[in-house]
Structure 1
Amino acid sequence: MSDLWEKAADDRQSRCAIAHYLADVQDETVAELAWDLRALEYAEDENWLPSLHVNLADDYRRLGDTAKAEEHLEAARTRLRLLADDAYGELMRSAVEHVAQALAERSTRRLETSPGG
């Protein structure tokens, strides 16, 4: 994957997509958070933002940082309007609700499915 990362050095959207994917395959939440933050740094297409923010909210929730989790959950919610009323949009709306519920329960366990799908 590092080869892919280097080849995409001049392509912000590719770097965003690669980092977003790499976050989902990490075993440790701290590593997942690092890749999710990197994905957000490279995001140029606003349609990525709901997914990136819900993933960050989930990372921070699992790390016990409630304030940052709530901040990113709110950012995800406000950007849901960017998404169409289709299967992907519904997936993101559902992810926001699952993370919100886990946060309200003060759970730090990994959700059975990744918030982004």
Structure 2
Amino acid sequence: MITDETLIRIGQAVQLSHQGEREAARVLFAEIWDEIGGEHGDPLHVCTLAHAMADVQDDVHQELVWDQRALAAADQLTDAGLAQAGVTLPVAGLYPSLHLNLSECHRRLGDLDRAREHLQQAQATIGALGDDGYAQLIRAGLRQVADRLR
């Protein structure tokens, strides 16, 4: 169970975005971003917020910036830090989704070489996920991006 208050608030913003309240989600994400110190904040907060903020961007260039921030922050995480916050997924389990999103951004921007690189990285790290609903969602996304890149 997630025990970190900032992660809980980020989750509330994610719920807003899932309910179609993209602008309200962006506003809440921006407030939290300022509170955590932006890119200099706790890497778990930065990674989680940036990964979610990317999903509510209307401009693919901005989406890419947020996805890149999320990946950079993930590189600073540890399994112990995730567990302390109540996150059950290991750090390695974050990379398939992060690289999937980066692949799709690069594809949409027409940088197919970079898109393929991130797709390969996502595929190489997918083994860190089990076979639950989340893993199936990421695998389906990988198949979709791979098909789009053909």
1:53 pairs with 2:99: yes
**Pairing partner for 2:120 from 74, 98, 106:** 74
Match of 2:30 in 1: 2
The amino acid across from 1:30 in the alignment is: H
- How far residue 37 of structure 1 moved from its aligned partner, in angstroms, is 0.3
Match of 1:89 in 2: 135
**Pairing partner for 2:73 from 39, 42, 46:** 42
- How far residue 103 of structure 1 moved from its aligned partner, in angstroms, is 1.1
More helix per residue: 1 or 2? 2
Structure with more contact order per residue of length (Cα contacts < 8 Å, sep ≥ 6): 1
Structure whose CA Rg is larger = 2
TM-score between the two structures when normalised by the length of structure 1: 0.85
The amino acid across from 1:64 in the alignment is: G
Counting matched residue pairs gives: 104
- How far residue 6 of structure 1 moved from its aligned partner, in angstroms, is 2.8
Match of 1:21 in 2: 52
The amino acid across from 1:88 in the alignment is: Y
- How far residue 11 of structure 1 moved from its aligned partner, in angstroms, is 1.4
**Misfit runs of 4+, over 2 Å:** 6-10
**SS of equivalent residue, structure 2 residue 115:** helix
Which runs of 5 or more structure 1 residues have no equivalent in the other structure? 105-117
The amino acid across from 2:65 in the alignment is: A
The amino acid across from 1:29 in the alignment is: V
TM-score between the two structures when normalised by the length of structure 2: 0.67
Which runs of 5 or more structure 2 residues have no equivalent in the other structure? 1-28, 78-90
